[in-house]
Amino acid sequence: MHSQEWKDKWKLSKIEHGKLTKYNFLVHYPEGLTLGKYIDISQFVYIQSRMGVIIEDDVEIGPFTAILSESTIDNKSGLIKICKGAKIGTHSTIMPNVTIGENSIIGAYSLVKKDIPPNVIAYGVPCKIIKKL
């Protein structure tokens, strides 16, 4: 949880197709990306949002995470929604057509291929619910 001081200073960085932001994350198809307030996207996160990615308020995304609204490996595509207060651990991959519920925590190095309900801790390959919060 970020302090009020951090929130008072928070400002959305400029996002351009295929270029690193000031905070060193990369977005392809930024026109498909909807961002809430007070989000914390770490360095070297990759967001492919051609089919839509919604990241709500107070979300934290760890470094080296991939958020993919399209996957050429399995020919899947669809909207990704990361709900308010969710936290995604480092090196995780969020696949197309997935919703991560409000306040849920995804552990590091997870592969999220299915919806994760609100208020749970989930991790693994594939990602599984471990505990309710």
Tell me how many domains the chain contains: 1
Q: Which structural domain range is residue 62 located in?
A: 4-132
Long-range contacts of the stretch 20-28 (C-beta < 8 A, 24+): none
Q: Are strands 87-88 and 60-61 parallel, antiparallel or unpaired?
A: parallel
Do residues 99 and 73 lie in contact, with contact meaning Cβ atoms separated by under 8 Å? no
| Residues 80-127 pLDDT 10s | 999 999 999 999 999 999 999 999 999 999 999 999 999 999 999 999
pTM for the predicted model, two decimal places: 0.93
The domain that contains 105 carries what CATH number?
A: 2.160.10.10
- The neighbour count for residue 110, using CB atoms within 10 Å, is 23
pLDDT of 1 over the 70 cut? no
Strand residue runs (E) in the chain: 26-28, 33-35, 40-41, 46-48, 53-55, 60-61, 66-68, 70-71, 76-77, 80-82, 87-88, 93-94, 99-100, 105-106, 111-112, 120-123, 128-132
